[in-house]
Structure 1
Amino acid sequence: MSILSMQRRMLGLVAGSALMTTAYAAEIPIAQDVKDSGQLAIASSLAYAPFEFVDEQGKPAGLDIELAKAVADRLGVKLKIVTIPFASQIPALASGRVKIAWATFSVTAERLAQVDFVSFLEAGTVVSTLPANKERFATQNGLCGASVAVQSGTAADFVADRIVADCEKAGLPAMRKAIYPEQKDVIQAVLSGRVEARLDDSTSAGYYEATSKGRMVVAGRSLYPAPLGAAVVKGDKATAEMLEAALSSLIADGTYATILDKYNLRSSAVSKPALYSNPSQLPQ
């Protein structure tokens, strides 16, 4: 094949890719406020690696940020990040400050009473601890009587309450829950010995085990698997359907898989996004 033929072939592939992206975008129902502003505005804490954090160059990074940027590109608008602490994001939706909180929320019945979700991952809650304690916390009952850290308002916070109740039913000492505002505080509490373990999303905990080179390890199996997704204002179908369609296009053209592979999270992938608005939709 001549150099000219190769150049023509490459131009054809690029043009085909552009046409495919344009075709996907044409099928996405863009919410009116996004059209009017030319922006996809999302709430993010930028404090929960590997999903959202500030990189060494001081720029927003992480799986959630990359997915949101890809969605914005697909819509033909700019991504605007509104930095809001995780525990304040659902109240921010209720007050109208933002329409999307992109924080990889675990979809729970309690949260569905306040907001709707568009899911794009699936994971459970796991115990993360120092290597010396791994066998001790290999089972759920091993947490009974232990001091365990969680981040305020996360799925791990809710799961901790369920474990406390299960310990009581089993006639075992209660697990002592310690609440911290940010993920970094939870991790430091374990590393410093203030608590014996932490509860976290299985994807985040697995990422930290790898990046910390085993300073903290995952113990036991995943508890209470649940869909993960971005939160939207309750009943805002226009925004939810826009996100669902945009994420579907990212899955269809391989962009979604490429981003997940970058963070070693392909095991948490879904075949298609889903809109959750009622607890009856959740796995039992």
Structure 2
Amino acid sequence: MTTERRPARRLPRPAAATLTAVIGLALLTACGDSSDDSGTPKSRAAGATSSSSAPAGSTAIPTEDVVSGIAADPALTAELPAAAKSSGTLTLGTTRAPGVTGLPHGGESEDGTPIGLDVDLRNAVGKVLGITWKVQYGTFPTVIPGVQNGRYDVGQDNFGVTKARVEVVDFATYLNDGQSFLGAEDVPVDSVTQLTDLCGLTVATSPGSTFQQILTDGASKCSGAGKKPYKVQYFTDSAPIFLGLANGKVDIYFGPTLALKYDATHVPHTKYLGQISTTPVGFVTAKGSPIGKALSDAVNKLIADGTYAKIFAKWDVPGTGITKSEVNPAATF
């Protein structure tokens, strides 16, 4: 089956120049080909300036303090194991995210201080539980095994709840992520709710990911609907994806909901087009550990007192929070 090659769509020169400048910064600060749980490259376009808020189209990084004023809850501290209560610490395994291209999940300020939505969430939970985190860095594939063998008390790295994982570790959920679409502002669709909305367009995503699997499984849907098929391009680094959006070689980026919502407000001349599925994400603890329930109860306290909403507002990712944290919610895959 062949597809008709349509003329390259280009942003107006000022728009393309602005977006290209942002991409240039991302390339300078990129953290390589590492991926999060969904197989999405962590190198994304994001600015390096700081601000207490980040309006739409801005590359500013928010610096509002939404954590330091949180008080410990003795009743929740009491749920922790004796060793944690005695030491006042829990060991957390995660991956390091240099620069700012991994935001909103995680990054580092100019002085090397960890920043991001995930960082604020875990620090807020630590405040509620009356503990400090002893953060240790590993790689994405080693964090869950590290929790299993006792190296880490808790793992955090945008881990989605899956049936296979729940068999070996517990989850205390703290947000929802999913599979979404981001387009250049002049892409000829305003909403994507099903794969047939992509027919005739060029879609970019990461190889070896759930996104690739979804696009591969749905490849016949366009012809079945009597439409031109979509074309898929694969990139291990998302900076070329944003460059493609700027120069007309890419129509749509298929990636994680939370990240693309953030990008839509920080990368000029892009628009968020919607998501087709969602997945709960949580802290990982050893199977049967009381730490899981304590983490979940702490998240629920933050939801109840409004701190949770403030954290999500700070990082400009509406609609990705949860109304209640759970331990081991039902997995859909």
Q: Which residue matches 1:14?
A: none
In 2 relative to 1, CA 137–87 (structure 1 residues): closer, same or farther, beyond 3 Å? farther
**Counterpart Cα distance in 1 of 2:95 and 2:200:** 31
Could you tell me whether the CA contact under 8 Å between 1:207 and 1:263 is conserved in 2? yes
**Residue identity (%):** 21
Q: Which residue matches 1:13?
A: none
In 2 relative to 1, CA 79–134 (structure 1 residues): closer, same or farther, beyond 3 Å? farther
Q: Which residue matches 2:53?
A: none
With the length of structure 2 as denominator, give the TM-score of the two structures. Answer: 0.64
One-letter amino acid of the structure 2 residue matched with residue 140 of structure 1: L
Cα deviation, residue 202, structure 1? 1.4
Q: Which residue matches 2:119?
A: 65
Q: Which residue matches 2:306?
A: 254
Cα deviation, residue 244, structure 1? 1.0
Counting only pairs closer than 5 Å after superposition, residues 39-118 of structure 1 correspond to structure 2 as 39-47=89-97, 48-118=102-172
Could you tell me whether the CA contact under 8 Å between 1:134 and 1:217 is conserved in 2? no
More displaced, 53-62 or 111-120? Answer: 111-120
**Counterpart Cα distance in 2 of 1:144 and 1:85:** 38
Greater strand fraction, Structure 1 or Structure 2: 1
Cα deviation, residue 238, structure 1? 1.2
Greater helix fraction, Structure 1 or Structure 2: 1
One-letter amino acid of the structure 2 residue matched with residue 150 of structure 1: S
**Counterpart Cα distance in 1 of 2:222 and 2:188:** 22
How far does the alpha carbon of each residue in 1:128-160 deviate from its partner, in whole angstroms, 9 at most, with x for none?
2433446398452327884522386xxxx2243
Identify the match of residue 193 of structure 1 among 228, 244, 256.
244
More displaced, 139-148 or 78-87? Answer: 139-148
Cα deviation, residue 36, structure 1? 4.4
**Counterpart Cα distance in 1 of 2:154 and 2:188:** 37
In 2 relative to 1, CA 266–209 (structure 1 residues): closer, same or farther, beyond 3 Å? closer
How far does the alpha carbon of each residue in 1:234-257 deviate from its partner, in whole angstroms, 9 at most, with x for none?
x13312112112212222222222
Identify the match of residue 206 of structure 2 among 124, 142, 150.
150
One-letter amino acid of the structure 2 residue matched with residue 59 of structure 1: T
With the length of structure 1 as denominator, give the TM-score of the two structures. Answer: 0.73
Question: Which ranges of structure 2 fall in alignment gaps of 5 or more residues?
Answer: 1-68
How far does the alpha carbon of each residue in 1:66-103 deviate from its partner, in whole angstroms, 9 at most, with x for none?
11111212222222222233344334334433232222
Pairwise CA RMSD: 3.2
1:229 aligns with 2:285: no
1:35 aligns with 2:90: no
One-letter amino acid of the structure 2 residue matched with residue 226 of structure 1: T
1:124 aligns with 2:178: yes
**Counterpart Cα distance in 1 of 2:222 and 2:166:** 30
In 2 relative to 1, CA 53–72 (structure 1 residues): closer, same or farther, beyond 3 Å? same
**Counterpart Cα distance in 1 of 2:255 and 2:307:** 27
Q: Which residue matches 2:262?
A: 207
One-letter amino acid of the structure 2 residue matched with residue 248 of structure 1: N
Could you tell me whether the CA contact under 8 Å between 1:164 and 1:174 is conserved in 2? no
The count of corresponding residues between Structure 1 and Structure 2 is 250
